[in-house]
Structures are given as structure tokens and as C-alpha cells.
Amino acid sequence: MADPTAPETLAEREAVAFAADLIRIDTTNRGGGDCRERPAAEYVAEWLADAGLEPVLLESAPGRANVVARIAGTDPTADALLAHGHLDVVPAEASDWRTDPFSGEVADGVLHGRGAVDMKNADAVLVAVARQFARDGIRPRRDIVLAFTADEEDSAAYGAQWLVTEHRALFEGCTEAVGESGGYTFHAGNGVRLYAVGAAERGTAWLKLTARGRAGHGSKANPDNAVAKLARATARIADYEWPVRLVPAVRAAICAIADAVGDGAGEATVAADTLDDETWVRRMLPRLGPAASLVTNTIRNSANPTMLSDGYKVNVIPAEATACVDGRVLPGHEAEFVATMDELTGPDVSWDYLHREVALEAPLDAPLMSQMARALLAEDPAATVLPYCMSGGTDAKQFSRLGMAGYGFTPLLLPPGFDYGQMFHGVDEQVPVAALHFAVRVMARFLAAA
């Protein structure tokens, strides 16, 4: 592993400074178009231009800005690679935090603030690496396109979706993409360090349920009660246990984790070919220890009721009641999801999509996967690198519409006990400064060789 006492490089220092500055720029996305990423986009564009690049700043609506820049590679015949990150963040209630969520404070070797994890840290690393390449005269093998997007924390309508629709020429030649949520340390116990690279994403299925009935007085019997119909349907959805459906990235992750922790690795390979998915997963998950959390949310589809809206007075039975459900769908299993939702809602409740995005799968045997692994292992040789499926979604869904295979790769070396996964959208979001230094070294090595 790299010497933690080695002097910081300029790129490492810049990554921390850029991340802190970006955190101080409030780009809270409250949904429905309520966000202003332009100041952060201007900041990124300024530092890229200072390095001699030609960033393009594009507004999809007033204040909703994106930045795209291209680093020319040495091989003009090679396909280009997209490295992308989003500039918006989810809301933060300051009273819940120990520090100001937009302070960008660095204390005791830790950077604090909204976006320290999701994902201004990674944006800053990309800018710092681009500047390092320019200073040192490093040219990657193939073109690297950098994209810093708006609106990922809502629908991507002002960000990646808009770029893909209106400015696809900026991504000419890009066949693969790397973005958020993968490549950071997961401590699996007994000194085992895992780095899970995102190679699949569940699809997004945000639903609106509607129950209709007969309005009436709350004191009178009403068998056609919309609220009661909706309550029964949401309860069925909440209680339903979806069947196990293993996609290749999840199956590969389970086998790799079992091999790394040394508990049932041989049986994992054999049993995977002889047992049904449900039995195999039930047998293997207890053997994965803490690392089971890397796969437990992606072994099946899911649907969780999240919002209820009905009625307007306690003594009035309304004619209509609605609810929202957050559904997530494994690659190849949308038809099953639709049929199951029809069955669970029943004849008295209808449903429709509020927002729908595709599930993704990228090749596990692609050379890019090996290149990501090599870059990580150069900094942490004793680690295990494996693929996994992300339970949520990223802008990779949008860029897939241009034919790109998307991977989650935002490398960080994290200390034991640092619950990085809980930092996403959480309170007191933070990242160790040393983790950002590690990210710069890994991303510089990866992008130069990819």
C-alpha cells in the first residue's frame, strides 16, 4: 500500500481544496426544478480552462448548468471514455448536523459537508487529475470526456438527460463511462479489504397509486372507501417478499466475497451450478459476514411505499386517495415487476409511473474492468476487486442511451469503521482527506492507461 507519510502532491492538495470549495457552493436540489448548479459549474469550468482545456458550459434552464470538456488521447482510433459526476446535492437540515453542511470544513484530517461523499469529492478529483495531466504533459491513450452534470439528484431532466438529447456530439466516440458509487474500501473483517466496482444498476420505477371510491360522511358505513382500498394495497406491497433473481454481477460478487473471506468459496462455485437461486443465496449470505450488505439489496426487485395523500377533513370520506411507491427493478426483470404490482394493487387500485429509468448491465469481462482493478491494486495490493450491482441509479442510465457501458468507479481508501454507504444522503457527511489523496492517485493511473 502507498506510504501514508509521503508528502502530498499538488494534485492531491488541489482535490481537497476543490472539494471544500464546491461544498461551500450550495447546489441543493429540492426537486421540481428548484436548484442552481451554475456557480459550481462556473467554478469547475474556470479551473479546467486554467489547465488549458476548453470546457463547454451549457445551461438547460436558467441556473441549471452542466460542464463538458475533452482531454485528447494519443490514439485517435481508440474509443473515448466518459468520466462523469454530478454537481447537485440533496437537501441538508443544518440543525441536524454537527457542523454547517455547507462549510467545507477540514478538521482532524476529515472534510465535512454536503457533497463530501455524494459527490463533489469525485468531481474535485477529476478536476485535479485533469490539471495534473496538463502540468505534467500526460496524455491518456484515448480521449477522456469529462462531464459535470446538473439534476442527478432528481430526474436528470436538466442534466445528463438533456445533454444526451441536445448535445450528443460532445460525447462522440464514447463507448464506456465511469461514474459514481464504486471502487471504495469495504472492510469485510479479519483484515479483508474489498473494492466493489459498479457493473450493474437496478432500474427505477417510481409509482403513483390511485384508489377511487364513493365520497361520504365519516360517520356512515361506506364499503366503497378509497382510503381503505389504498391502505390495503400499500400494506400488501410493503409485506410482499420478492423472489430472489440473481443477475451476473450479483452472482459474481457473492462468489468473489466468499473467496476473499475464505468461507465456502469452493462450495459457492459448485452450488451455484446445482441449486436454485433462492436456496443458493440462503446458503451463501450468512457466510459473507459484513460484506453481505454489498449484495442483500440487489438479489431481488423491491417496492416500498413512501408517501400517502388522501382526505381533507376528518369527518369526510374522500372520493380519491393516492400513494407513492419507490420501486427498483433488476436487469431483465421488469415484466415480473409489472405483473406483481398489478396483482398486489388489485382491482380497486390503479398505478402508473411517476418516473421510470432502465436497469443496466455492463460486461464483467471488459478490459476496462481489469484496468480499474489494476489501478486499485497498485495502491492497495492486498485488496480484492469485484463487480457489484448498485441498488439505486446514477447518470449512467442516461449515458447508456448513447450506447455507453457504464461502471461505478469513484475510488477511495477508507479506514475500518467508516460507514461510507450511510453517508449518502445522510447527516454529517464527511470523507477523510487521505481518501481523496488515494482517489487522485488511482484515477490518474486509471485514466492515463484506460
88 is catalytic: yes
Strands 360-361 and 192-201: antiparallel
Q: How confident is the model at residue 265 (pLDDT cuts 50, 70, 90)?
A: low
- For the segment 427-448, what is each residue's pLDDT rounded down to a tens digit? 999 999 999 999 999 999 999 9
Has residue 266 got a pLDDT over 60? no
Q: Note the maximum CA span of the chain.
A: 80
Has residue 157 got a pLDDT over 90? yes
Has residue 272 got a pLDDT over 70? no
Cell of 177: 463511462
Q: How confident is the model at residue 6 (pLDDT cuts 50, 70, 90)?
A: confident
Helix 248-261, helix 265-274: angle, nearest 10: 150
What is d(CA 26, CA 164) in angstroms, rounded to the nearest whole number? 25
Has residue 139 got a pLDDT over 80? yes
- For the segment 375-391, what is each residue's pLDDT rounded down to a tens digit? 999 999 999 999 999 99
- For the segment 33-42, what is each residue's pLDDT rounded down to a tens digit? 999 999 999 9
In sequence order, the β-bridge partners of residue 149 are 86
Instruction: Kindly state the average pLDDT of the residues 397-405.
Output: 98
What is d(CA 430, CA 222) in angstroms, rounded to the nearest whole number? 52
| pTM of the model as a whole | 0.94
Q: What is the pLDDT of residue 88?
A: 98
Q: How confident is the model at residue 119 (pLDDT cuts 50, 70, 90)?
A: very high
What is d(CA 182, CA 317) in angstroms, rounded to the nearest whole number? 48
Q: Which of 86, 75, 164, 167 is nearest to 120 (CA)?
A: 86
Q: How much of the chain, in percent, has pLDDT values that exceed 70? A: 96
Cα dist from 5 to 1, 191, 271, whole Å: 12, 21, 45
- For the segment 191-229, what is each residue's pLDDT rounded down to a tens digit? 999 999 999 999 999 999 999 999 999 999 999 999 999
Cell of 419: 460507514
Instruction: Kindly state the average pLDDT of the residues 276-285.
Output: 93
Burial (CB < 10 A; 0-12, 13-18, 19+), residue 53, is: buried
Q: What is the pLDDT of residue 5?
A: 64
Q: Which of 151, 200, 28, 97 is nearest to 423 (CA)?
A: 97
Q: What is the pLDDT of residue 123?
A: 98
Cα dist from 261 to 100, 196, 256, whole Å: 39, 14, 9
Three-class secondary structure assignment of 322-373: EEEEEEEECCCCHHHHHHHHHHHHCCCEEEEEEEEECCEECCCCCHHHHHHH
Cell of 96: 441536524
Instruction: Kindly state the average pLDDT of the residues 405-420.
Output: 95
Q: What is the pLDDT of residue 270?
A: 56
Give, for 432, the enclosing helix (H) or strand (E).
strand 430-432
Instruction: Kindly state the average pLDDT of the residues 45-62.
Output: 98
Q: How confident is the model at residue 82 (pLDDT cuts 50, 70, 90)?
A: very high
What is d(CA 322, CA 328) in angstroms, rounded to the nearest whole number? 20
Q: Please identify which of the residues 151, 152, 180, 379 carries the catalytic annotation.
A: 152
Choose the weakest-confidence range: 170-174, 346-350, 418-422.
Answer: 418-422
Q: How confident is the model at residue 152 (pLDDT cuts 50, 70, 90)?
A: very high
Four-way CATH pick for 203-242+302-358: 3.30.70.360, 3.40.50.300, 2.40.30.10, 3.20.20.140: 3.30.70.360
- For the segment 346-373, what is each residue's pLDDT rounded down to a tens digit? 999 999 999 999 999 999 999 999 999 9
Q: Please identify which of the residues 12, 88, 379, 395 carries the catalytic annotation.
A: 88
Q: Are 213 and 317 in contact (CB under 8 A)?
A: yes
- For the segment 240-259, what is each residue's pLDDT rounded down to a tens digit? 999 999 999 999 999 999 99
The ranges assigned to domains in the chain are 10-181+394-449, 203-242+302-358
If you average pLDDT over every residue of the chain, what do you get? 95
Q: What is the pLDDT of residue 4?
A: 57
152 is catalytic: yes
Q: Which of 332, 251, 243 is nearest to 295 (CA)?
A: 251
Instruction: Kindly state the average pLDDT of the residues 236-242.
Output: 98
- Beta-carbon contacts of 88 under 8 Å, excluding residues fewer than 6 positions away, are 27, 28, 29, 35, 37, 150, 151, 152, 153, 154, 159
Phi, psi dihedral angles at 18 (to 5 degrees): -65, -45
The CATH homologous superfamily to which domain 10-181+394-449 belongs is: Zn peptidases (3.40.630.10)
Q: How confident is the model at residue 47 (pLDDT cuts 50, 70, 90)?
A: very high
Has residue 316 got a pLDDT over 70? yes
